[in-house]
Structure 1
Amino acid sequence: MGNKLKGKDLIKLGFPKNNSINIALGQINRYRKREKKERILEEAKTVLQNPEQFKGNAIWGKVVEGLLKPVEVKFHQLRHTRAPFSIYGENEIDEHAKYQLYDALKLPVAVQGALMPDAHTGYGLPIGGVLATENAVIPYGVGVDIGCRMCLTIYPIKASYIKGKQHQLENILTNHTKFGMYETHDKKHDHELFSRSEFNDIPLLKRLKVKAYKQLGTSGSGNHFVEFGVVSISDTNNQWQLKPGDYIGLLSHSGSRGLGANIAKHYTYLASKQCPLPKNVQHLAWLDLDTHDGQEYWLAMNLAGDYAKACHDDIHYRIGKLLGSKAVVKIENHHNFAWKEMVNGKEAIVHRKGATPANKGELGIIPGSMTAPGYIVSGLGNTESLNSASHGAGRLHSRRKCKEKFTKSDIKHQLKMNDVTLIGGGVDEAPMAYKDIKKVMNNQQELVEVLGTFAPKIVRMDK
């Protein structure tokens, strides 16, 4: 008997001559290729005899699915009519982003949709797009940076401290925040998240665990940032018992790093193979939540979201320690994720790609640009927006357009006018790249209530 496992070896055991053979070979060659053939065949025999016992198993679960209830691969046509939807700030949104939503609303699994006032064109679902589906999750409806989120901590320190300690605060951000693909902290922190079973049970995650550990407490490139700024609270009845006034705040924006990107890539590929769609909507391929891959993606996505939160917690812990102060308020929210929520009395999967959850009373933070204010908000629970709001100001110009249109001296001028210090950052993240956040907020008054503002003062981004 040769060392390489072949389809005929499995057929000899009694496996049916169907796709379960290809699935088994694919799983074994990907995850078990160094093991002895005899051992794998012995295990395969047990799987064949007792498939129910191996449901959900990381290696054999997909094979069992092929034996008991194979995933039906069929070409899906779009419906002729759209699911119900709402658009906020329609005049400020580019036409292509609207048409991306219109196409998504014709998916056979679409239930309801919405477009936020900061929306712009993306892959599959537009950025600022919200889509509810029936028992299906769309990896590109969540986004590549799974669990990308905002986190704001407010310290009981008067805002004037920033001016007095400008140099020290700049040094804290320069020396104690890490950005991009390769920077990591010299002193690594552990986290209970790394003992989660998903890191052992799902082979893809097992391979990504070491990298995730190294990247804990770091931020991505692009529009990700960590910044000190002034938090203004005007409401005397605020829920944090803070006296109205101006305080120091630390705001961070980042996601699940390489972990989330690899999860997105892997399951998008699987979705595209299982759910062929017309070319104009191929990025909207979904995974049925009743399938092995759908359930596995759901677990992986939730782990990536929790990892993104752990990264922000680590950033704020490190910086809070250096400030020598304990935060009195912490506000945080995802804006690239999918949730199980009730829509029109039925459970649906609500994808928010570049959109902030805004359920009744739910707190969130909606940033502007490096020279424009961000807003602390409380959701109004508007069902027509699928309980959602914008995730920021939204891009006005693409990264390529920014490089053609603006110079570093243009950015310096804007920073000086707004009394903002920038560490790192490229022309593609120029303040002028973004829409007017005040207009965006004005277009979503029925979605959120403003509780306070955050004005950036010292901004740290990737170089």
Structure 2
Amino acid sequence: MPRLRLTGKALRNIGYPEGPAISVAITAMEKQFRHHSEEAALDILKQVLLDPMAYLADDGLRKVAGKLMETKEEEDIPLKEIPVPYEIYGAGFIETGALQQMNNAVRLPVAVAGALMPDAHHGYGLPIGGVLATHNAVIPYGVGVDIGCRMCLSILDLPVVSLERHAAKFKRELVTQTEFGAGATWVGKTEDAVLEHALFREIPMLRHLHKKAVEQLGTSGSGNHFVEWGIVQITGTNEFNLPAGTYVGLLSHSGSRGLGAQIAAHYTRLARELCQLPRMAQHFAWLELDKEAGQEYWAAMNLAGDYASACHNQIHRRLIKAMDARLLARVENHHNFAWKEIHNGQEVIVHRKGATPAGKGVLGIIPGSMTAPGYIVRGRGEAASLHSASHGAGRAMSRFNAAQSISQYELNKYLKEQGVILVGGGPDEAPMAYKNINEVMAAQSSLVDVIGRFQPRIVRMADDGGKED
């Protein structure tokens, strides 16, 4: 396999400034990513350039990020000298990079309030686990690339013993009835009301995405997206009127696919053109909701959220039918989204980047990992958290570090010990790459009450182990 060779010209062509950042980037890429193609390497460097702070904790790219952070540019819109105070949950196991990102977010002129969840780790724009309330402004990168990424749990009437007795059938249908990957499409006609939405005709950029939306409806992304069979334990009084006990459950995690990614890319570029911020905060560029661009993004974002929900419903419908099961109850919730809410008596825009809505009485799902339990929760409406909770266990290791330090053998051995069957996935998504879900839940006991748990048994993920779509 040929070794990677980059040139300064190639880096300048993608926007790298003249100076030491170029040589540092070339050295890092040719050492750490020497088997990547030039196109793949430049794509990684584009992401670092867009949000260098997100890579300060990445062993392979932190030197590049550091050099980019040293670059000074004229600040057209100054940040607040005194940041908005915010509550941190689980501070003892949140990495520095996530704290730095959140510290920048609460210095935005439009920032009103914030909170950081215990699963927090560095991401793009807001840290994963970051919650930010703004006045009359929506931040496309505060919502994220995978708009409306979502959890969906179906509780079924199948006997729990069937998961073990008929594991081969559960696995076979899981593979047959799902498609994963960044470019995955569903073969066959899939109908859903979301595809008839008027916005696909009214907004020019959405017209061009309708075909993609049709083809990808009912599919899942890559990275940490999954569909899995498992055992649901209901522990007490619940909104489903189900007796306490154990049930078969179907749990899925994915978002708005290529539709959401293209919406995010388009409006992030537009926001950065309209809202000039210092380099360290460029990824927080916002759109004002009383202006046409902001209103258009808001409408497109909500469409992407509806589309994400429709994808889950299609997947669950196919699998429930294939297993000849009956739906007893369902719990769903978005993350990577923005909501109009009232806090402290005023309407604000609450961005939850990898955070679960947890208003008083609101139900949600907080997953662990492919072997650790997930939790069915009821929000307590805690004001300091902006009515939010974590969206999962959160990463303890970056994908790069996990792939470098965890072998496929170690992953397979651990899965066997835990009694979990995995289809797809890879060491970058290994349970060891995640925080301890029980510690995360303990750190947010004031935010949610647990009413049930989900234990994975047969897990399906993308084969490529790549980034979320």
Q: Map Cα deviations across residues 232-290 of structure 1 (whole Å, 9 max, x no partner).
A: 1121x222222221110000000000000000000000000110101111100000111
Q: Which has the larger radius of gyration?
A: 1
Residue 132 of structure 2 is aligned to residue 131 of structure 1: yes
1:117-266 aligned at under 5 Å gives the runs 117-235=118-236, 237-266=237-266
Deviation at 1:84, TM superposition (A): 2.6
1:19-58 aligned at under 5 Å gives the runs none
Deviation at 1:99, TM superposition (A): 1.4
The two structures, once aligned, show a CA RMSD in angstroms of 0.9
| Aligned-partner Cα distance in 1 for 2:213–2:188 | 15
- The answer to whether the 8 A contact 1:116-1:129 is kept is yes
| Aligned-partner Cα distance in 2 for 1:415–1:435 | 17
| Aligned-partner Cα distance in 2 for 1:157–1:191 | 27
Amino acid at match of 1:448: V
Number of equivalenced pairs: 389
Report the 3-state secondary structure (helix = DSSP H, G, I; strand = E; otherwise coil) of the residue aligned with 2:233: strand
- The answer to whether the 8 A contact 2:184-2:221 is kept is no
| Aligned-partner Cα distance in 2 for 1:91–1:214 | 44
Amino acid at match of 1:146: I
Deviation at 1:75, TM superposition (A): 1.8
Residue of structure 1 equivalent to 2:355: 355
Amino acid at match of 2:318: R
- The answer to whether the 8 A contact 1:84-1:111 is kept is no
| Aligned-partner Cα distance in 1 for 2:88–2:183 | 39
| Aligned-partner Cα distance in 1 for 2:184–2:142 | 29
1:64-463 aligned at under 5 Å gives the runs 75-235=76-236, 237-463=237-463
| Aligned-partner Cα distance in 2 for 1:195–1:389 | 33
Amino acid at match of 1:305: G
Deviation at 1:102, TM superposition (A): 1.0
Amino acid at match of 2:218: G
| Aligned-partner Cα distance in 2 for 1:186–1:146 | 24
- Note the residue ranges of structure 2 that are not aligned, 5 or more in a row: 1-74, 464-469
Deviation at 1:187, TM superposition (A): 2.0
Report the 3-state secondary structure (helix = DSSP H, G, I; strand = E; otherwise coil) of the residue aligned with 1:157: coil
- Note the residue ranges of structure 1 that are not aligned, 5 or more in a row: 1-73
Deviation at 1:426, TM superposition (A): 1.6
Report the 3-state secondary structure (helix = DSSP H, G, I; strand = E; otherwise coil) of the residue aligned with 1:158: coil
| Aligned-partner Cα distance in 2 for 1:182–1:145 | 14
Deviation at 1:293, TM superposition (A): 0.7
Amino acid at match of 2:125: G
Structure 1 segments, 4+ long, off by >4 Å, are none
Amino acid at match of 1:327: L
Deviation at 1:157, TM superposition (A): 2.1
Residue of structure 1 equivalent to 2:48: none
| Aligned-partner Cα distance in 2 for 1:158–1:358 | 31
Amino acid at match of 1:313: N
| Aligned-partner Cα distance in 2 for 1:198–1:441 | 39
Amino acid at match of 2:269: Y
- The answer to whether the 8 A contact 1:158-1:246 is kept is no
Report the 3-state secondary structure (helix = DSSP H, G, I; strand = E; otherwise coil) of the residue aligned with 2:369: coil
What fraction of aligned residue pairs are identical, expressed as a percent?
Answer: 57
Amino acid at match of 1:445: S
| Aligned-partner Cα distance in 2 for 1:142–1:327 | 31
Deviation at 1:181, TM superposition (A): 2.8
| Aligned-partner Cα distance in 2 for 1:410–1:385 | 37
Under a length normalisation based on structure 2, what TM-score does the superposition of the two structures give?
0.82
Deviation at 1:201, TM superposition (A): 0.5
Amino acid at match of 1:294: G
Report the 3-state secondary structure (helix = DSSP H, G, I; strand = E; otherwise coil) of the residue aligned with 1:262: helix
